[in-house]
Chain A
Amino acid sequence: MMLAVVNGDQSAYQVIVKQHLKSVSHYAYRMLGNQKDTEDIAQEAFLKLWINAGKWQVEKSKLSTWLHRIAHNLCIDFLRKHRRTQLQSEILEGVEPNQEPHENPREGSEAFQRAKQLEMAIRGLPENQRSALVLCHYSGFSNKEAAVIMNMSIKALESAIARAKRSLRNELSETGIEHQ
């Protein structure tokens, strides 16, 4: 499929977009926290895939790994560029939790509060910890694959994800959400 893309086949490119868009967009959203930036990053990631298709080597990594590496680098660059304003915009952005309607509206609002607080805690993580958490917990990559995506050793990756989870657990324990 990628060989066809290298040769300029746009229909092959479209197939790849449809196969990987959900995964890439979800990764970018969990990294960036807002819809507009996520769409911009996703669009740029697939554009880079088109332009650099010839650089992908099947023996080195899977296409999904390579594509997520592109998305990861774009997200990191974006976050570093917009570091100061990122958290402010994330607070203002709101996404309604995808919850089933609750008979008891109080429970629904508590679940919503928990979700918002956990989202804020994730946004507060350093970029590499956030990325490690998203890649391993949400995107389904193995520790080895995530290390390739983040261009770090497996040990460094495991350290990042361990710190991320520990931070989240500690923060949720402090707010008293976890033990309700």
Chain B
Amino acid sequence: MITLDEFSHLIEVHSSDLAAWPSDLQIAGEDFLATSEEARALMKDYLELEQQLDVLPVPMFSGLEAKILGQSLPPRTPSLLEQLLEWLLPNSGFTLRLWQPVAAACLPLVFGIVLGNFYSFGVTFESDEMEYWEDELTMLSLNNYSENDF
């Protein structure tokens, strides 16, 4: 069973129309309303408030539409960023234009490969394999393969 404070809060947040309340709270609200006179008084107060809010007038604003439509609008040219985003992520024909964002994403990768291929940037690469064969050849040259040993 909900309390009066909770009931009051629910009316304030969701209105006096129980159908507008969250579905899991409607039955609890109806039960509380049926059993509590304070709840019924509260509901009556908020219902009257809402009815009075509904009849508050608003001017007709005749001429406002013409005024707004008549105002001069700045040229609607997309900014450079909008144009770039439109090219990368088009709003239409997305499947056919998928290559655009894919190509754009691959550009840094390609650039990095090319850069790394042509420039060492001071990094030396030592080959252990070459040292191994140098050592082998040195050892072979020191061996005596004369016929007298056999």
Contact of A128 with B by CB under 8 A: no
A interface bracket (residues with beta carbon within 8 Å of B): 35 or more
Pick from A21, A54, A122, A163: contact of B64, CB below 8 A.
A21
Pick from B11, B55, B58, B78: contact of A26, CB below 8 A.
B58
- Do B49 and A168 have beta carbons less than 8 Å apart? yes
Most chain B beta carbons < 10 A, residue from A111, A122, A169: A169
- Do A10 and B73 have beta carbons less than 8 Å apart? yes
Q: CA separation between A39 and B70, bound complex, in Å? A: 13
B interface bracket (residues with beta carbon within 8 Å of A): 35 or more
In the complex, what's the smallest C-beta–C-beta distance from B73 to chain A, in angstroms? 5
Is chain B's binding surface mostly helix, strand, loop or mixed? helix
Contact of B48 with A by CB under 8 A: yes
Knowing A3-B91, A162-B9, A173-B45 touch, does A29 contact B65 (C-beta < 8 A)?
A: no
Knowing A118-B52, A137-B53 touch, does A14 contact B13 (C-beta < 8 A)?
A: no
- Residue ranges of A at the interface with B (Cβ–Cβ < 8 Å): 3, 5-8, 10, 13-14, 17-18, 21, 25-26, 29-30, 35, 38-39, 42-43, 46-47, 50-51, 53-54, 95-99, 111, 114-115, 118-119, 122, 137-138, 143, 158, 161-163, 165-166, 168-169, 172-173, 178
